[in-house]
Copies of this chain bind each other. A is one copy, B any other.
Amino acid sequence: MDDTAGAGRRVRGGGGAARRAERTAVRSEFTRYIERNIPNLDILTEEGLAIIEANADTVLEEIGVNFPDNPAALALWRAAGADVRGDRVRLPRGLARSLCATAPATITQHARNPDRNVVIGGKGLVLAPVYGPPFVRDRDGGRRYATIADFRNFVKLGQMSKWLHHSGGTVCEPTDVAVNKRHLDMLHAHMTLSDKPYMGSVTEPARAADSVEMSKILFGADFVDQNTVMTSLININSPLTFDATMMGALEVYARAGQACIISPFIVGGAMAPVTVAGTLTQVLAEVLAGVAYSQLIRPGAPAIFGAFVTSIDMNSGAPTFGTPEAAQITLGAGQLARRLGLPYRSAGAFCGSKLPDAQAAYESANSLNIGLLAGVNFMLHACGWLEGGLVSSYEKYVMDADQLGVLHRLAAGVDVSDNGQAMAALREVGPGGHFLGCDHTQANFKTAFWRTDLLDYKPFETWEEEGARDTVALAQARVHKMLGEYQAPDLDPGIAEALADYVARKKAAVPDAFL
């Protein structure tokens, strides 16, 4: 099995920047996105799916969704045949689903290095890092507000992480940069420090427009007009409310042919019912309305069925992670997304723990495994998430990123070729023998098993002599090593200059704002 590929892979199309990148790219180890060769785990029956789909139609028809402060959206909905009263939009049964039919089933997101292009949909799984935390934590400095220096470090870790396919978006909030300007620095970091695909800004429509403009500098304007080079996280204000700012960003991206992840943001019991089937009904209704709206903006605009779902700790009101209810919703939403013919975003290395300890790892492993088996196509937060999403953890980033290798190998399925069957080895060794020295083992041992780059399997005495380090201590060393070895991927100097100039110009044009 050959999961990873280094130098010399062939270019598969791409723009001028892509070709230039190919000529000059730093040859770091990387892995293609996962293409599953194992089945999904379908926990809902046909009957259960039909009930939930019918109920979602009832929600859209009887209860409807709100599009506040957005008269243009209301006009579009009215023209499409919806019943619009005030901000409330009620959709005749089947309307949303029929509008969703123009959204593509798979999306190729281009990277400036075309070897890093990803296909989102089908049997694919694209892994992207944590998104959104205002804090960072590491073993060296503890928990503190994130800065742009942290942001750049996390982008570098992403570039160096061989099982990670995507540079992500807000890998942490650079709180030392003005709110109205930090998107420029964040995009600049992704574009210059990584050659993996990245996400656009969604916090204001104008910032989405900046994301498109900067992408045109990086890829060329024609290329961006004709291809998807960004995914962007459009959260729904659950229950059933479509915030005008987020919709403004969606409108920019949809018009530009860039991909939107339409994602209910749900803490079950608070923003959705306490039951799995009830939450799935709401998730489906919200995604149907959101994706349908993207198709009203531009038929064929790439859109992704998102589901960010946690449950609530009924004692404290805090969100919980890695729970069985979240697993069931993740699995069920995958079935609903496939029936709708849309790519699916869910799961991640979710945890509620304050530290990258056993709690964090149980919760994250539960969610990562379920994400693979749920047929997730785009997994945001696949590494680095800590403390319910308040913290980007340096150590947990590399810990989770190592575990992503497990998903790759599990997804590859079982090789039943002659070599996989290993009958020659069984015949050579026989009863009571040992396989280590046999020909088949010698021919296969280098690639036979997934290998960790982090975890410890040494004998107890060796481990103790070396300092009795726990996983966090091992991860701290790996963070230092990766940042120390990091090399920026080459970038055409003209493009680099134009990007820097764009950022400087936009920053100079308005005063800083920290709200």
Interface residues of A (CB under 8 A from B): 38-39, 41-44, 47-48, 51-52, 55, 58-59, 62-66, 88, 143, 237, 239-241, 268-282, 311-320, 322-325, 327-328, 332, 352-366, 369-370, 373, 387-388, 390, 396, 399, 403, 406-410, 412-416, 419-423, 425-427, 429-436, 440-441, 444-446, 448-452, 455-460, 463-464, 468, 470-472, 474
Contact = CB atoms under 8 A, between A and B. Distances in A.
Nearest to A273: B422
Nearest to A37: B43
Contact of A416 (B52, B320, B422): B52
3 A-B pairs with least C-beta separation? A278-B422, A365-B365, A361-B361
A119 B126 CA distance: 41
A277 B420 contact: yes
A463 B354 contact: yes
A275 B366 CA distance: 26
A450 B269 CA distance: 13
A39 B38 contact: no
Given A275-B415, A369-B370, 6 more contacts: A63-B427, A239-B429, A274-B448, A312-B449, A358-B358, A387-B460
A320 B458 CA distance: 10
Given A358-B471, A455-B359, A445 B413 contact: no
B39 A314 contact: no
Contacts of A464: 354
A359 B414 CA distance: 25
B456 A353 contact: yes
B399 A273 contact: no
B413 A43 contact: yes
Contact of A435 (B51, B66, B239, B325): B239
A158 B415 CA distance: 40
A427 B51 contact: no
Contacts of A387: 460
Contacts of A426: 59, 63, 239, 273, 278, 281-282
A364 B55 CA distance: 38
A458 to B, nearest CB: 6
A47 B241 CA distance: 49
Q: Which of A318, A409, A456 has the most CB of B within 10 A?
A: A456
Nearest to A387: B460
A240 B430 contact: yes
B362 A276 contact: no
Nearest to A422: B278
A110 B43 CA distance: 31
B281 A431 contact: no
Q: Which of A52, A241, A369, A414 has the most CB of B within 10 A?
A: A414
A234 B194 CA distance: 54
A320 B237 CA distance: 44
Given A88-B431, A359-B361, A275 B444 contact: yes
Contacts of A435: 239, 269-274
